[in-house]
Amino acid sequence: MWASLASHLAYHVTTVINSVCVCVCVCVCVCVCVCVCVCVCVYRKIELYEMGWSLRDGLKECLVAAAPYGGPIALLRQPQRPSSSARPQLEIYSSSGANMASFPWKSGPVRQLGWTVCDDLLCIQEDGTVLIYDLFGAFKRHFSMGNEVVQNQVLEAKVFHSPYGTGVAIVTGASRFTLATNIDDLKLRRLPEVPGLQGAPSCWVVLTQDRQTKVLLANGVDLYILDNTSCTPVVRQTQTTYSLLCLIILALSPLTVCVFQTPPGLSPQACSIVNMAVSFSYKYLALFTDSGHLWMGSANLKDKLSEVDTKVRTPPKQMVWCRRPKSQQPSVVIMWDRLLLVAGECTDTIQYTLDEESVCVAELDGVRIIGGSRHELLQEVPSACQDIFKIASMAPGALLLEAHKEYEKSSQKADEYLREIKEQSVLGEAVRQCVEAAGYEHEPETQKTLLRAASFGKCFLSNYPPEPFVSMCRDLKVLNSVREYTVGIPLTHTQYKQMTVQVLIDRLVYRKLYPLAIEICRYLKTPEYQGVSRVLKHWACCKVQQKEEPDESIAHAVSVKLGEAAGISYSEIAARAYECGRTELAIKLLEFEPRSGEQVPLLLKMKRSQLALSKAIESGDTDLVYTVVTYLKNEMNRGDFFMTLRNQPVALSLYRQFCKHQEQDTLKDLFNQDDDHQELGNFYVKASYKEKKLEARLSLLQSAVDEYNKAKNEFAAKATEEEMKLLRFQRRLDEEKGEALLGLSLQETLHALLTSNFHKQAEQLYRDFRVPDKRYWWLKLTALAEKDDWEEMEKFAKSKKSPIGYLPFVEVCVKQHNKYEAKKYVSKVTPEQKVKAHLAIGDLEGAAEAAIERRSEGEISTVLSRCSPTTDRALLERLNRARSTAAKK
Amino acid sequence: MAHSVRRDAPELPDFSLLKRLARDQLIYLLEQLPGRKDLFIEADLMSPLDRIANVTTLKQHDVDKLYKVEHKPIVSTSDQMVRGCFLYPLTNWFLFPDVVNADKAFGRFRRYKIIFSPQKFYACENLLEEQGIFGDVTTDEWSFYLLPLDDDIISLELPEFFRDYFLEGDQRWVRTAGSALHLLHSVYGPFSKVYGIGRCSKMAYESWREQVEEGEQRARQAEIGNVFLIDRDVDLVTPLCSQVVYEGLVDDIFRIKCGCVEFCPDVTSSDKSIKVMLNSQDKVFNEIRNEHFSQVFGFLSQKARNLQTAYDKRSGMNIKQMKTFVSEELKGLKQEHRLLSLHIGASESMMKKKTKQDFQELLKTEHSLLEGFEIRECISYIEEHINRQVSMVESMRLLCLLSLTENGLLPKDYRSLKAQFLQSYGIEHLLTFSNLKQLGLLVEQQPGETLTVMESRVGKLVNDKTAGKLTDAFSSLAKKSNFRALGRRLNLVPKSDEEYDLRVPRDMAYIFSGAYIPLSCKLIEQVLERDGWTGLEEVTRMLNGHEFAVTDARVKTDSQRIILVMFLGGCTFSEISALRFLGREKGIKFIVVTTAITNSARLLESMLDNHA
């Protein structure tokens, strides 16, 4: 046991030494806090890259901005000899120092550089204009921070990130602050005045708290909180009076909920605050005073975490928080010209000397230090790594690593180590530690060693879930490939998890590293829609911007590459081509779009409305057709619009439907345009029915007649003319006799006249309108029967030979329950209908007679079927006999 | 049923699921506006809504009051309004902006939500925007596509489909039909074969396929095997014929609405009318719905006798038997009794209306038209029909039937009949005639190409095939019905000299007293028999083509014998009866999906132009 421990210790000495080249565990800081517990924080500084750039003077005289999450670095280098002709040079590098863009700065003097969350470069100029460039130095757009700024100039500016996106805050020469929380949805907010502030404040930060963006600023001794509505001084007094004053603040500004208080426990001897820093998560705040004291606490100024006397009185160049998400240790990195200092909870600090001009970049889990020749990461050593690599560590992970080491050497000591772990039954924990630690390591060899050890330990566990191990292997493979020098994205595992694969893919795409992005998608088996297809789409979007290549070859290349991928939206690619002014290419690309509906909006944008219309119709989506039609209606002049519709029956009918309900007059114009006289005629007829006044109605009908004539529809023209004639006739009669006839049909008019005893007028109508005899007879017959005018009916029957025969007379009478009258006409009925007539009046015998006389088998049967048991036996026999004789024939 | 039934007919899938889906979605939409609310419902949507979620259900979800949207100012006190709106363009719908603006004028704040069913159109939003109230209301979509009316009938409840698509050429409902198909596919699919005929069918099919491709696909047990899509304008003759099957007759006379009929007092022999649900739950109805009307009375009286015997059993019972009788049978018997008396009442009332002399003559005329027999007599009958003003719709129906079967009217007849009609029913029907002409329902034979004459003349000279080709050449000139030629080829009109025993029907012609096999159903039969359109080339050419048959090779299903037939533009109860008959004969089950249940009156009323 002791022997093994000794060798274990010896091993650790060697590992630590070995790993110096990889991870430099430079300092062990043991700090004793006020409380009883003893905390141990270990920091390490890892070299990420040796910078590939060749800067003559390092970062001297440069405006530098580096994006978090291993983002790109922008440099604005002032010219060597300050002269009016020399322009500063703007350069963009990847984190490894590979040049991505470089161009002379031709715009106005720049105050501040910054990166947005989606890797766009913001250049904030003195006059308040903010220019946005992409990663490759291509100008995207610009916006202004307000008119007021133009005169007063920007003194200082800060770019900040919040859940709402990237924001910009400036302070002007008039000592006023202006904020824009999200540059993609620009809303400028001018913050209230700060009392007594002249020029720029000594230091300030932007805070995002409770969904509000505020500015915390220090002006010499005073601290202020600026929010949308008010400027609240943070009172620095001794503890005793603090609560009282707080009350006063409350009374003064009842609207502001007073969450800001004096930073508790800030040393009274400190006079003014010269620098401040807010943590990555906006949870913590650090203040540096001119007395060299560093106060650390929560960002709401309620709690103090610690206070350290740095013993350096010069104001620092930069101050950033350096802590990992779940760490309990507050720690701030402060940078002076030649000195880098890590201050934590204890009074002791760690100091590094800097041999070159550097810039600190706050990260989620550490600080990156970018210098002229090196790029380093300073972070608190994660506990898993500490446990494993700490000298003389007896942590399960450390033992497992050792066991594996021995196993590799084929030594039986491996078994001893394993037993030891197993005895404590912490093998699971050991594997977990190794896997976790592998994630924190940057050197692939170390990662491998740890993972091998984990895999070795896993063999002795029966039910250890494989997922953490597998996913860690995958993550590391992805991370190592993006940390690659040529790619230059030095992400840590923690950052990667926070950032998500989606975003990483986006960033790779943005850097035009399409093959790598596709490889990663395939490796991680990301669904095509979100993965490969999306990358390919971006690739195509980039491809169409290559101005030198001809349309044909680009379209071909795109279709070949994208052919098989699922869920590609060609319309988006085409939209991009159109944005670059390549309309022809856009149209070519749209041809590949399988969903015609998707093509429409872009075609409309490109003013290819005809094509858009036919595509919309092709899609079968009437909503889309309607969209195009409405668009065309507003865009084109009427004539062209109608002409367009004319060639598209589907759209035309849709528009007609719309007009029918909404714009009757347009409908008329539409028919006019088409010379569709038939429809125009119909239109007027329809309109005439809505018209109450007779004159108007007649004139509408006259228009209809004209149209029908033009349409060579003589029938309709004549019918309409007759209607006009009828209307006039009805009016005359209404005026003369007071009958309400207007609007009735001819039949109804006649009927009304006949029932009201206007036989002469009816007669006239009958002649004028050439009403067929049959109809007139039917009409008169029923009218007379209805008012029981039997006398008139008899006269009518005798007036001339009935064109409808006399059976109807019989039937009408029967219908009016007048069998007596009915009988009068039976004799007049033609022989063929005699049987029916007799049956109608219920005269069975007569019917039988007639039927027998006619020797018709069918008729005899009809009569027979009407016979009931009460019928005369003799009659029945006669009928049956007659039927059989008829049948024989 | 008296005739033989194949025992191996498959079971139908359960369609109540569709109702549940629709109800859940509606409730979800209602719950989006928490608190008490008033619900305004478009009149057309009233009865379908009732079948999905009744008043109690709605009340449970905080619906305070229900209003039917009418041309009246809307008075409501609730803070929130939800509108169930059916369609655009709605006449009543335009009232809504007034309500909002009135509220605004009074400084009253209410929340409004408009729910469009089954689809929200771009035009709706456009209109709201034009009225300046786009910001004041929220809109939503209740994708209520399918209402199961019975075990085997599903309706889209889009009666306007026929006019909108076939007359106005408005394709907006095609997508709705596609979505409905998609819904059925995703719940009961995948379908192994899809047949179809007609332009609209093709478009609906394409729209559906598009939606299938966009969405994700799940492998599941198919409950429906094949699908047959058919446009209504492929067969316009069938819906124009008088229906003589019980269910069809009830629809013709009393108008079945959403599977529910209101029997007037003279049927119920009481002083109030009764609403009755007509579906397979009604045991009596279920047995007579597909019967020819002449058989119904006999059946009902038999049933009445059986019932009496069942009641009579009581006399010889001891107490115990009596107890079981009361607890088990009596309720069923009572129920049956009630239904029986209703149907007897309905039959009597129909008998009174239909067995009169003129109905017999009407049927006779119809049959002669279908047979192409004694056309002159038919024309004079129609003339008399018009002159005597028997019924406007009936006259129009006969005119259309004449035109469809005869490939248009002779110019002389066309003019004189039209003139007579206008004199009888008013000049506004000039517009109706123009609509009918556009749809090809009532057309004039172009001079010089009187088809029947030409055809018969040519037919004597050359063989049938060339004659068919010539006919096609003519048909391409104008939208024409080739009813005669089709009738011969598909043998739609059985020989009239044979007696047809309606008690034991031998083919689908029984639904029209043995005079005519509905073209639509015959087509379905033929295609299913041939497993495609091969051998029917000439028929499809005469029907203006657009036929298709698509087999999805990936789908292997054992539900081949469940066939979904989708009628785009409506179908009649007679056709459903015919398909049920066909199903029984072949041992398959048909599910009928239709845009709406139609009949001759509904079809022709949709052609009238006076509602504008």
pLDDT bucket at A269, cuts 50 / 70 / 90? low
- Which one of A689, A707, A728 would you mutate to disrupt binding with B, by most B Cβ within 10 Å of its Cβ? A689
Residues 66-95 of chain B with CB under 8 A from chain A are 89, 91
Higher pLDDT, A161 or A625: A161
Nearest residue in chain A measured CA to CA from B424 = A747
- Say how far apart CA A477 and CA A484 lie, in whole Å: 11
Mean of pLDDT values over B568-596: 90
Chain B residues whose CB is inside 8 A of the A658 CB are 89, 123
Determine what percent of chain B is predicted with pLDDT higher than 70.
Answer: 83
Query: Is B270 an interface residue toward A (CB < 8 Å)?
Result: no
pLDDT in tens, A720-735: 888 888 888 888 888 8
B412 touches chain A (CB under 8 A): no
* Residue A833 in contact with partner chain B when CB distance is under 8 A: no
Mind spelling out the 3-state secondary structure of B555-574?
CCCCCCCEEEEEEECCECHH
Task: Give me the interface pTM, i.e. the ipTM.
Answer: 0.71
Mean pLDDT of A737-761: 79
When mean pLDDT is compared over A624-633, A871-880, B248-257, the highest value belongs to B248-257
Which chain A residue has the Cα nearest residue B411?
Answer: A715
Query: If you average pLDDT over residues B18-24, what whole number do you get?
Result: 88
- pLDDT score of B90: 40
CB pair distance less than 8 Å for B387 and A772: yes
Residues with Cβ within 8 Å of residue B21, at least 6 apart in sequence: B183, B187
Tell the residue number behind the tokens 């603006």, with chain if given. B101
pLDDT for A115 beyond 90 = yes
Q: How far, rounded to the nearest angstrom, does the alpha carbon of residue A235 sit from its chain's CA centroid?
A: 46
Cβ of B211 under 8 Å from any chain A Cβ? no
Tell me, yes or no, if A770 comes closer than 8 A to chain B by beta carbon. no
pLDDT at position A235:
62
Q: Residue B58: its pLDDT value, please?
A: 81
> SS3 of A179, please?
strand
- A496 burial level (CB within 10 Å; 0-12, 13-18, 19+): buried
Q: Do B203 and A747 touch (CB under 8 A)?
A: no
What tens digit of pLDDT does each residue of A642-651 get? Answer: 887 777 777 7
State the best of A628, A657, A664, A744 to mutate against chain B, taking most chain B CBs within 10 Å: A657
**Residue A690 pLDDT exceeds 50:** yes
Q: Does B170 touch chain A (CB under 8 A)?
A: yes
Q: How many CB pairs under 8 A join A and B?
A: 106
pLDDT band at A357 (very low <50, low <70, confident <90, very high): confident
Does the pLDDT at position B193 exceed 80? Answer: yes
CB-CB: which of A657, A686, A774 is closest to B431? A686
What does the pLDDT look like over B217-256, one tens digit per residue?
666 777 888 899 999 888 888 999 888 888 888 888 888 8
Name which of A800-804, A808-812, A833-837, B106-110 the model is least confident about.
B106-110
pLDDT at B81: 56
| Pairwise pLDDT comparison (B518 vs A788), residue with the higher score | B518
What does the block give as tokens for B193?
């074969």
| Helices (H), ranges, B388-532 | 392-405, 411-425, 429-439, 451-461, 464-475, 483-490, 519-530
Q: Which of B116, B174, B430 to mutate to test the interface with A (most CBs of A within 10 A)?
A: B430
Q: What was the pLDDT predicted at B611?
A: 46
Write out residues 128-157 of B within 8 Å (CB-CB) of A: none
Taking an 8 Å cut-off on Cβ atoms, the answer to whether A660 and B203 are in contact is no
Q: Which H/E stretch holds residue A776? A: helix A773-786
Residue of A802 and A458 predicted with greater confidence:
A458
A415 in contact with B, Cβ within 8 Å: no
> Is A650 part of the contact surface with chain B (CB cutoff 8 Å)?
yes
Of A620, A716, A746, nearest to B207 by CB-CB distance is A620
Q: What is the pLDDT of residue A170?
A: 92
Q: What number is the average pLDDT over the span A173-188?
A: 88
Q: By the CB < 8 Å criterion, does B212 face chain A?
A: no
Most confident of A155-164, B81-90, B441-450: A155-164
Q: How far apart are CA A738 and CA A744, in angstroms?
A: 15
Average pLDDT rounded to a whole number, residues A747-751 = 82
Predicted confidence band of residue A84 (pLDDT cuts 50, 70, 90): low
Q: How high is the mean pLDDT of chain B? A: 78
Residue A774's pLDDT is: 79
B428 confidence band (pLDDT: 50, 70, 90): confident
What local confidence, expressed as pLDDT, does residue A267 receive? 60
In 3-state terms, what secondary structure has residue A156? strand
Give the per-residue pLDDT at B78: 55
Identify the weakest region by mean pLDDT among A183-197, A350-364, B54-68.
Answer: B54-68
Is this structure's pTM higher than 0.80? Answer: no
CB atoms within 10 A of CB A337: 10
The verdict on a CB contact (< 8 Å) between B427 and A656 is no
Tell me how far apart the terminal alpha carbons of chain B are, to the nearest angstrom.
Answer: 46
- How far, in Å, CA of A121 to CA of B457, rounded? 86
* Angle subtended at Cα A856 by Cα A854 and Cα A862, rounded to the nearest 5 degrees: 115
> Which pLDDT tens digit goes with each residue over B289-304?
888 888 888 888 888 8
Residue A52 pLDDT exceeds 60? yes
Separation in Å, CA of A431 to nearest CA in chain B: 40
Taking CA atoms, what residue in A is nearest to B426?
A745
Q: Which of A209-213, A340-344, B394-398 has the lowest mean pLDDT?
A: A209-213
Whether chain A has a CB inside 8 Å of the CB on B31: the answer is: no
pLDDT at A577 > cutoff 50: yes
pLDDT tens-digit readout, B528-539: 888 888 888 888
Q: Which of A286-300, A599-613, B478-492 is predicted with the least confidence, judged by mean pLDDT?
A: B478-492
For the cut 90, the answer to whether the pLDDT of residue A631 exceeds it is no
Measured CA to CA, the distance from residue B513 to residue B105 in angstroms comes to: 64
Instruction: Please answer yes or no on whether A650 and B171 come within 8 Å at the CB atom.
Output: yes
Q: Which of A596, A622, A655, A663 to mutate: most B Cβ within 10 Å?
A: A622
Enter the tokens of residue B154.
């599903």
Alpha helices by DSSP H, A124-212 = 147-152
Residue with tokens 């006079």: A271
Q: Contacts of residue A620 in chain B, CB cutoff 8 Å? A: 171, 174-175, 178, 203, 206-207, 210
**Is residue A481 very low, low, confident or very high in pLDDT (cuts 50, 70, 90)?**
very high
Q: How confident is the model at residue B565 (pLDDT cuts 50, 70, 90)?
A: very high
What's the rounded Cα separation, in Å, for the pair B494 and B514? 7
What would you measure as the largest C-alpha separation in chain A, in angstroms?
145
Over 50: is that where the pLDDT of B425 sits?
yes
> What is residue A257's three-state secondary structure?
coil
Query: Does the CB of A682 have a partner CB in chain B at under 8 Å?
Result: yes
**Better-predicted residue by pLDDT, A529 or A142:** A142
For residue A176, the distance in angstroms to the closest alpha carbon of chain B comes to 37
Report d(CA A378, CA A334) in Å as an integer.
12
Q: Tell me the mean pLDDT in the region B547-553.
A: 82
**Minimal CA–CA distance to A384: which of A455, A445, A343, A327?**
A327
Q: B353 CB near a chain A CB, below 8 Å?
A: no
Q: Is the pLDDT of residue A251 over 70?
A: no
- Determine how β-strand B111-116 pairs with β-strand B80-85: parallel
**Structure-model confidence comparison of residues B555 and B502, the more confident one:** B502
Considering only CA atoms, which of A332, A328, A327, A274 is closest in space to residue A308? A332
Q: Which pLDDT does position A451 carry in this prediction?
A: 93
Give the C-alpha separation, A76 to A664, whole Å. Answer: 66
Phi and psi dihedrals of B222, rounded to 5?
Answer: -75, 135
pLDDT greater than 70 at residue B441: yes
Smallest CA–CA distance, residue B177 to chain A, in Å, is 12
pLDDT for A493 equals 92
> d(Cα B481, Cα A686) in Å, to the nearest integer?
29
| Binary contact (A747, B610; C-beta < 8 A) | no
CB contacts of B178 in chain A (<8 Å) are 620
DSSP string, B81-115: EEEEE--SS-TGGGHHHHHHHHHHHTT---EEEEE
Average pLDDT score, chain A: 80
At A412-433, the pLDDT tens digits run 888 888 888 888 888 888 999 9
Say if B390 is an interface residue toward chain A (CB within 8 Å): no
Whether B121 sits inside 8 A of A745 (CB atoms) is: no
**CB–CB of B121 and A653 under 8 A?**
no
B361 and A CB contact within 8 Å: no
What is the Cα–Cα distance from A274 to B197, expressed in whole angstroms?
A: 84
Nearest-angstrom CA–CA distance, B286 and B299: 12
Q: pLDDT by residue (tens digit) across B395-415?
A: 889 899 888 888 888 888 888
- Each residue's pLDDT tens digit, A368-425: 999 888 899 998 888 888 888 888 888 889 989 999 999 999 888 888 888 888 888 8
Instruction: Calculate what percentage of chain A has a pLDDT beyond 90.
Output: 12
Q: A772 and chain B: CB distance < 8 Å anywhere? A: yes
- Give yes or no for A636 touching B (CB within 8 A): no
Sheet containing A293-298, strands listed edge to edge, beginning at the edge strand earlier in sequence: A273-278, A284-289, A293-298, A304-309
- The answer to whether the bond into B505 is cis (omega within 30° of 0) is no
A246-260, A604-618, A836-850: least confidently modelled range: A246-260
Q: Is A28 on the interface with B (CB under 8 A)?
A: no
Task: Tell me which of A104 and B64 has the higher pLDDT.
Answer: A104
Decide if B392 touches A, using CB distance below 8 A: no
Interchain CB distance below 8 Å, B168 and A653: yes
Which A positions 121-180 lie with beta carbon below 8 A of chain B? none
Burial label for A837, CB within 10 Å (0-12, 13-18, 19+), is buried
Q: What is the pLDDT of residues B297-356, one digit of tens each?
A: 888 888 888 888 877 777 777 788 778 877 777 777 888 888 888 888 888 888 777 766
Q: What is the pLDDT of residue A168?
A: 93
Residues of A within 8 A of B176 (CB-CB) are: none
Amino acid at A53: W
Spell out which residues of chain A touch residue B415, defining contact as CB-CB under 8 Å.
715
- Contact indicator for A344, A43 with CB cutoff of 8 Å: no
Lowest mean per-residue pLDDT among A16-20, B63-67, B255-259, B389-393: A16-20
Enter the tokens of residue A596.
Answer: 């015609």
Give the integer Cα–Cα distance in Å for A860 and A867. Answer: 11
CB–CB contact B170 A653 (8 Å): yes
The secondary structure of A338-385, three-state, reads: CEEEEECCCCCEEEEECCCCEEEEEECCEEEEEECCEEEEEEECCHHH
Tokens standing for residue B505: 């029907």
- Asked if the model's pLDDT at residue B83 lies above 70, the reply is no
Determine contact, residues B389/B424, Cβ cutoff 8 Å.
Answer: yes
- Give the lowest-confidence range in A193-207, A383-397, B130-144: B130-144
**Strand order in B562-568's β-sheet?**
B147-148, B153-155, B589-594, B562-568, B226-231, B193-197, B547-551
Tokens of A651: 């759209």
Contacts of B170 in chain A (CB under 8 A): 622, 653-654, 657
CB contact under 8 A, B434 and A595: no
Distance from CA of A678 to the nearest CA of B (A): 9
Q: Is the pLDDT of residue A809 over 60?
A: yes
